[in-house]
Structure 1
Amino acid sequence: MGCFVAPLTEAVVVTAAAVIVRQKEKKHRDQSQNLANEKKEGISSRLFRLSKLLFGGAVLLIFEHIWHGEVVPYFPFFTAATEGDEAVIEMWQEIGTSGVLMAVLCTLVWGVIEVLRYIFAKKNVKKVVAE
């Protein structure tokens, strides 16, 4: 019913963190001319990749819930919220279990992707140095 709330919330928090980190990276880059010449990817771009993954998953979940009639475009937005207290409790349990699990799984997949990117980047650097 509302499992998209957890990944959507994480996406908003990660995006805010990425914006803050990007501002700090830019400020640090402006102060240091050495970093301005580097082509190294910053943490902010990695965080933006995670937020895009989370936002994309949340949008797909929202679409799926709209398709099944669980989310409506008028207040209270969740059809379970109009069905009584037991349905609302069930909705919050779904958010806390399925939603959190999906958000954690997206974050773990992103982490694996970042580790693989790091490993492949190291191998490419070794190839270039060997040549």
Structure 2
Amino acid sequence: MACFVVPAAEAAIVTIVNIVLEHRSQKAIAEGKALREATSPNAQPFYKKLKSLSRLLWGGSALLAFEHLWHGEIQPFYPFLTAATDPAAMSEVYHEMATVGTSMAAFVTLSWAMVHFVRSRMVSTAPATVKVQDK
């Protein structure tokens, strides 16, 4: 019923961290104190990588919220969760958030980390020049 709340909370935290890091980076560039973050010219700053995680989490949370709204598990007025009308049913909501919501958020974050790890390895091991042979 409320499994989308955990990825949405993570998305909010990641978005705030992203904004702070981007602001600090822009401030350092403006002051001329910017350090090179990586040796490769194709490498992205960390805040740009975090922006992709934020988008994944917000998009997944929005889709899950819409799906729960479609099935009548949440409603657009107070109390937003239909299970919130019964205090006994709230334990089921907390359990779903702790198990399903946390596992979804962890899976998205780990998948994002693996993609960026593999990407950084591919960029760092890419040859500098490619020779094309004429036939």
Identity within the alignment, %:
35
1:117 aligns with 2:119: yes
Structure 1: 5+ residue runs without aligned partners?
A: none
User: How many equivalent residue pairs?
Assistant: 127
Equivalence for 2:91? 89
2:83 counterpart letter in structure 1: A
2:76 counterpart letter in structure 1: P
1:64 aligns with 2:67: yes
1:70 counterpart letter in structure 2: E
Kept after mapping to 1: 8 A contact 2:28/2:34: no
Counterpart-to-counterpart distance in 2, 1:39 and 1:102: 30
Counterpart-to-counterpart distance in 2, 1:58 and 1:21: 23
Supply the RMSD in Å over aligned alpha carbons: 2.0
Structure showing the higher helix proportion among its residues: 1
Mark the CA change 1:108 to 1:34 in structure 2 (over 3 Å): closer, same or farther: closer
Tell me the CA shift for residue 121 of structure 1: 0.8
Structure 2 length normalisation: TM-score? 0.86
Structure 2: 5+ residue runs without aligned partners?
A: none
Counterpart-to-counterpart distance in 2, 1:4 and 1:21: 26
Structure 1, 22-31 or 68-77: larger mean CA deviation: 22-31
1:20 counterpart letter in structure 2: V
1:3 counterpart letter in structure 2: C
SS at match of 1:99: helix
